[in-house]
Amino acid sequence: MCTYLTEKIAISGSAKGAGGWFRVTDGSVYFDHPVHAPYGHTLNIDFLAPGQGPSARVAVELSADSARGLMKAIEAVLESAPPGLE
Amino acid sequence: MYDAIIAESITISGHGGDAIEAYSARPMQPGPAGGVVVIHHMPGYDAPTKEIARNFAAGGYNAVVPNLYFREAPGASPDDAAAAARAAGGVPDDRLVGDVAGAAAYLKGLSNSNGKVGVIGYCSGGRQSFLAAVSLPLDAAVDCYGAFIVGTPPEGSPLKVGPIVDKVADLSCPLLGLFGADDTHPSPEQVAELEKALQEAAKTYEFHSYEGAGHAFFSVNRPAYRPEAAMDGWQKIFGFFGKHLA
C-alpha cells in the first residue's frame, strides 16, 4: 500500500460481503500493494458503505492486465446493452 | 535456558488518553529487559506484525504494537481497517506521537523493564518511527524504508502527511535506517538527503541499503520479501537494540 495513488468515486448499487448483501455508496480505486494477490502491486477496488462501518467492504485485487481486461469487458457490455434499460 | 514468552492483546492509553487496542509480547524472565514499540506498516495491525513483536520477545525484549487504526475501525479485520485509515488520509502525526508515548509508558511500567525504550516501524511506520524519535525522549529508533521523511506524497494521494526531515535536530536517540536500493518510496536519493541532514545535525545513525531489495523486504508474506536482506536486517536490528537498549 505504498504508491498512495487513489481515485475515489460515488457509486450506487449493491455488493455481497461476508455478512450478505448491502448497499454500496462509495468506491476506492487504487494501484498499490495487495493484501492477498501474489503480485507486488495490483489494481485494487473497494466497494464501500462507510455509513455501515469499515467492515462493509467488498475488495478485489487484480493484476494490471486483468484490470485492463475487466475495463474493456465492462465497456463492451454497457455498449451492447439495448438502449433504454439503464 | 528458560525462554518462555507471553503474547496477548491488551488495552493501553494512547493519544489524548484514548483507550486503544495493542498487542504485547514479553519474555517471562524477571529482566531487566529493554522495551520496543513496534509501529505497524500501512497494511495494518496484522498477523505478520504481531509475529515481529513475538520475535522481539523471544530475543529478550518487551514489545508492544499499538493498533494505530483502532479508532477508525475497532474490531474490524486488519485489511478493512487499513482501507478505512488509508481512505481517511492515514494516521495524523500528533495522534501517532501520542499513541507511541502511551506505548512507551506501558513498557516502562512493566515490572521487568530496565527503563529503556526503542521504537521500530515499517513502511509508513518507518516515517512514524522517525517522527516519534524527534518528538519523544527515546533510547533508539529504527526506520525500515519509511517514505516521506523527505519528500511529499504524489498529487492526488489521500495520504495527508508531509516531510519531517526539518525536525532532525530534535532527534532524541541513535537511528538505524534499513532501506531497499530498488525502493522508490523512499528513493535512494531521498535516503541520501536524510543521511546528509543527520550528518549536518551531528546525529548518531547507521544506514544500510540492500541491493536487489525494494520496499517491504521484511514482509515474509509478500512477494517483496528478500530473505538475505531481511536476515541481515534482523541481525542489524538486534545488534543496534543490544547496544542501546541493554
What is the model's pLDDT at position A4? 67
What's the domain count of chain B?
Answer: 1
**High-pLDDT (> 90) share of chain B, %:** 87
Q: What pLDDT digit, counting tens, does each position of B91-108 carry?
A: 999 999 999 999 999 999
Sequence ranges of the domains in chain A: 5-80
pLDDT in tens for each of the 86 residues of chain A?
566 678 899 999 999 998 899 999 999 999 988 889 988 889 999 999 999 999 999 999 999 999 999 999 999 999 998 888 87
- Residue B74's pLDDT band, with cuts at 50, 70 and 90, is very high
Q: What pLDDT digit, counting tens, does each position of B154-180 carry?
A: 776 777 888 999 999 999 999 999 999
Which of B112, B103, B111 is closest to B38 using CA atoms? B103
CA atoms within 13 A on the CB side of B102: 25
Query: Chain A residues with CB inside 8 Å of B217's CB?
Result: none
Q: What is the CATH number of the domain that holds B192?
A: 3.40.50.1820
Q: What DSSP letter does each residue of B18-74 carry, written as one string? A: -EEEEEEEEESS---EEEEEEEP-TT-S-HHHHHHHHHHHHTT-EEEEE-TTTTTST
Rounded CA separation B38/B125 (Å):
8
- Which of B79, B215, B218 best probes binding to A when mutated, by most A CB atoms within 10 angstroms? B79
Domain encompassing residue B81: 5-244
What is the model's pLDDT at position A3? 66
Task: Choose the closest CB to B80 out of A1, A8, A57.
Answer: A57
Tell me what ipTM this predicted complex has.
Answer: 0.79
**Residue in chain B lying closest to A31 (CA):** B157
Distance from CA of B202 to the nearest CA of A (A): 30
Cell matching residue B64: 508492544
**Parallel/antiparallel/unpaired status of strands B19-27 and B5-13:** antiparallel
